[in-house]
């Protein structure tokens, strides 16, 4: 979503851990893809020039690399830091992994557009029902917090969780409509990739993806000049 607003987004992954092809299409849209060890000093150089940092690890998992929200705030004042984990920071849950968060929120016990199964048999969640909505609706939005951080100083930190997002979605009314034509929402990014257009508008223009998804691990870990990205 930040990429659709014109930001240069680096998704940093560790070397030696290949990504599934389907996840490359889904997770590298509007991003560039460098590989970098978290202990590499060059990472701190990237952070020094960053406006927003988003992490997707369990609380405490990045502390040994000097990448906890407070550590980044002390070393790089003015950052907007967003942490997204499965369970949030509640003691007793924060240390758990993501595997069962959909089940705990009952997402995986509800077939799509249906009430809970009468037999109570869990069903596989048909879509990424927590991560994507949380990325779109994160509060405070990073694109609003960044100018505030630059003007007022200090670091804005937001802790978000997938289970809290799932609970929020389940409280909302769900409307089943299988007759919606998806064609107006789809755009061709290249001869092989069709994607859902990003929601909303930027001024008078609809938001757009800057191009097809990046190729995993092929980019250099450096920021591009704004004009080159836009």
Full set of structural domains in the chain with CATH: 3-113+123-229 (3.40.50.10540)
Segments of 65-180 assigned E as strands: 80-85, 156-161
What pLDDT score does 172 carry? Answer: 66
Residue 212 DSSP SS3:
coil
Residue 151: CB atoms within 10 A of its CB come to: 8
Query: 55: how many CB neighbours lie within 10 A of its CB?
Result: 18
Distance CA 56, CA 85 (A): 6
pLDDT the model gives residue 184: 87
pLDDT on residue 5: 83
Confidence class for position 173, pLDDT limits 50, 70, 90: low
Beta bridge partners of 160: 84
Cα–Cα distances in angstroms (integers) from residue 133 to residues 37, 45, 65, in the given order = 29, 31, 29
Instruction: Give the tens place of pLDDT for each residue, 113-165.
Output: 444 555 555 555 555 554 555 455 544 556 555 555 556 666 788 888 877 77
Whole-number Å distance between alpha carbons of 192 and 12: 24
Nearest to 14 by CA among 230, 216, 222: 216
| Predicted pLDDT at 165 | 73
More confident residue, 143 or 205: 205
Q: What is the pLDDT of residues 46-73, one digit of tens each?
A: 999 999 999 988 888 899 999 999 999 8
- Paired tokens of 206: 């609809």
Determine the number of helices (DSSP H) and then strands (DSSP E) in the chain. Answer: 8, 7
Decide if 59 contacts 84 (C-beta within 8 A).
Answer: no
Range from 26-30, 75-79, 165-169 carrying the lowest mean pLDDT: 165-169
């Amino acid at each position: 979503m930040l990429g659709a607003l014109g930001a240069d987004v680096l998704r940093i992954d560790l070397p030696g851990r290949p990504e599934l092809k389907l996840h490359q299409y889904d997770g590298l849209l509007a991003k560039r893809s460098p590989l970098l060890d978290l202990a590499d000093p060059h990472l701190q150089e990237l952070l020094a020039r960053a406006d927003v940092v988003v992490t997707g690890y369990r609380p405490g998992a990045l502390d040994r690399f000097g990448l906890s929200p407070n550590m980044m705030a002390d070393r790089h004042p003015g950052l907007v830091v967003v942490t997204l984990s499965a369970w949030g920071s509640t003691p007793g849950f924060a240390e758990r992994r993501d595997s069962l968060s959909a089940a705990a929120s009952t997402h995986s016990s509800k077939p799509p557009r249906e009430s809970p199964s009468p037999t109570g048999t869990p069903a596989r969640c048909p879509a990424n029902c927590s991560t994507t909505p949380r990325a779109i609706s994160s509060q405070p939005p990073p694109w609003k917090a960044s100018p505030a951080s630059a003007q007022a100083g200090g670091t804005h930190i937001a802790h978000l969780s997938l289970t809290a997002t799932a609970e929020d979605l389940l409280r909302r009314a769900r409307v089943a409509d299988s007759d919606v034509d998806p064609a107006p929402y789809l755009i061709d990014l290249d001869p092989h990739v069709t994607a859902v257009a990003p929601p909303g508008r930027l001024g008078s223009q609809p938001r757009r993806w800057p191009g097809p998804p990046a190729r995993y691990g092929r980019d250099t870990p450096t920021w591009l000049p704004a004009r080159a990205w836009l």
